A and B are shown apart, each in its own frame.
Chain A
Amino acid sequence: MSTVTQNAARDPVAIRDGLLCGPLSQLAQVRLAGSKCTNCGETSLGTVKICPNCGRDSVQNIALGNRGVLWSFTIVRHRPPGNYKGPDPFVPFGMGLVELPEGLRVLSPIQCDIDKLKIGLALQFKPYVRHDDDRDVVAFGFEPTQG
């Protein structure tokens, strides 16, 4: 009984409500959530009620594709300020805009050797579980496609 309670308490949560879709306990099925507007055709990141482009409520929730291409990037050379949850001591990392087939570019950490970063790099979505003190959080990045 106590085990069940403990497991229930550790049900993973998304790093932000409405940003991810799919069962969070099965990482292979987790995707970025998107909203496609049937009026203007724009797809935006996350679950929204009103299209941020045309302002109509004609949006459908969709799962965004898990493959994309690096559109631009930078290398973060200094530990970001505030409650950064990355490695301590700090390790420089790539961050970039990943262009997805639905017509949007999503900002994400890019998990690869920083020397490998280049515009056009083929990437895949990489959700992962982060163990915070009191909960398991599903966070995400993108990594180079394998094969």
Chain B
Amino acid sequence: MSDVVIIGAGMHPFGRIDKTYEEIGADAASAALRDAGIEWSQIQAAYLSRMYLPATSGARILRRLGSTDMSITDIEAACASGGAALRQGVLAIRSGEVDLVMVLGCEKMPRGFMDPSMIYSPWQIELGMSLNPAYWSMRAQRHIYEYGTTELQIAKVAYKNHKNSVHNPYAMYRKEFSLEEILNSPPVCDPIRRLEICAPDDGAAAVVIASAKRARELGASGKAINIAACCHTIARYSADFRCPADSMSATANNPGPTEVTGKQAYERAGLGPKDIDCFEVQDTDAFCEIEIYEALGLCPLGEGGKLIDEGKTDIGGDMPVNMSGGLISKGEPVGASHLGQVVEIVTQLRGQAGPRQVANAKVGLAHVLGAGGNCAVTIMQR
């Protein structure tokens, strides 16, 4: 039995939204409070996960819910910001100082490639080495070379995720594409194509978390979802080639951030990959999902392509991945993306996911990975 539980979850649909970030964030926070059946005034601390919003965005958003003097902190860890923020919430409750916490993820981003000055040095930008998909593509190219992974297998991941998104009212794109349409979409950075990458967008997602004791007192134990593990790490030396790296070692052999964070989370939860019923993972590009199958232990190294061929990660398969449609369909509002995954897993574990429901899902895992090798893994259990 875990000591910290999720008693409420809420989300604003991801997409290009004609509202301010304060409005989007407050909508998601209110939805999580309603779902938890509690009042804003009962919350004792709040964390906002965001990357592209201005200073003290957490306070600016949450003040809309009513006067408060509690600690509200913004947390940033690139694409893993949501995991880092949720971890802070869990640690705050474990410290014993508070027992009812809001963790909100919110982002509002311009269209197109992300602002490179947030991540890259001026010389990298001047040389044109400031396109995030280029880094994903070089890993894909090497995987193709080493393991015989095919462009068709990469396209199959995009096919699956676009197909799943049709049933997700929170996704930005809810359109199925044929394999042919995906393979005929123009390359962005070879071998990755337009219909195989995610786009930055706007969105928010929130959870209310509580100590197990407080959840019982509130009468919320029945629908509570246990946080079995919530881990955040950054890549060890040269363990991950991801923006804004300018070089990597050819001799160091450190395990990658997903492997390290996943192992930490599995150990803390006392579970292994075979015990997980459903996964939401970082699919900033379709290849990335294949790489993560391997790093999270869903299959041996080099066999991620085979896993998608066999349909094992479909909603009806042995180990469904990205039932929500993934970031490829939802877009990646960076600070909100992990909380969005957590809301999807909570929905799945409550059996409320409708046509995208994984039958009898009891344990779910959410994974994000991004700039600087920031990685977060949260395992939830009902």
A and B bind: yes
Inter-chain contact B130/A72, CB cutoff 8 Å: no
Which of these, A74, A78, A107, contacts B137 with CB under 8 Å?
A74
Inter-chain contact B115/A16, CB cutoff 8 Å: no
A86 at the interface (CB under 8 A from B): yes
> Closest approach, in angstroms, between the C-beta of B12 and any C-beta of chain A?
26
When chains A and B are docked, how far (Å) is the Cα of A74 from the Cα of B287?
14
Inter-chain contact B130/A81, CB cutoff 8 Å: yes
Which of these, B123, B125, B126, B186, contacts A77 with CB under 8 Å?
B186
Inter-chain contact B250/A78, CB cutoff 8 Å: no
B114 at the interface (CB under 8 A from A): yes
When chains A and B are docked, how far (Å) is the Cα of A81 from the Cα of B134?
12
Inter-chain contact A75/B145, CB cutoff 8 Å: no
Nearest B residue to A93, CB-CB: B128
Contact bitstring A72-90, B, C-beta under 8 A = 1, else 0:
1111111011111110000
Instruction: List, in ascending order, chain A residues with CB within 8 A of B131's CB.
Output: 76, 78, 80-81
Inter-chain contact A106/B247, CB cutoff 8 Å: yes
A59 at the interface (CB under 8 A from B): no
A96 at the interface (CB under 8 A from B): yes
* Number of A-B residue pairs with CB-CB distance less than 8 Å in the complex they form: 130
> Closest approach, in angstroms, between the C-beta of B121 and any C-beta of chain A?
7
Nearest A residue to B250, CB-CB: A103
Nearest B residue to A130, CB-CB: B126
Inter-chain contact A15/B126, CB cutoff 8 Å: yes
Number of B residues, CB within 8 Å of A: 42
Number of A residues, CB within 8 Å of B: 42
A63 at the interface (CB under 8 A from B): no
Q: A77-B190, A82-B117 are in contact. Are A139 and B238 (CB under 8 A)?
A: no
When chains A and B are docked, how far (Å) is the Cα of A45 from the Cα of B112?
31
When chains A and B are docked, how far (Å) is the Cα of A109 from the Cα of B139?
16
A29 at the interface (CB under 8 A from B): no
Inter-chain contact A82/B125, CB cutoff 8 Å: yes
Additional A-B contact list (13), CB under 8 Å, known A105-B248, A139-B127:
A46-B246, A52-B237, A72-B139, A73-B138, A81-B113, A83-B122, A84-B125, A85-B126, A104-B249, A105-B247, A119-B142, A139-B123, A141-B127
Interface residues, chain A, with chain B CB atoms under 8 Å away: 15-16, 19, 41-46, 52-53, 71-78, 80-86, 93, 95-97, 99-100, 103-109, 119, 139, 141
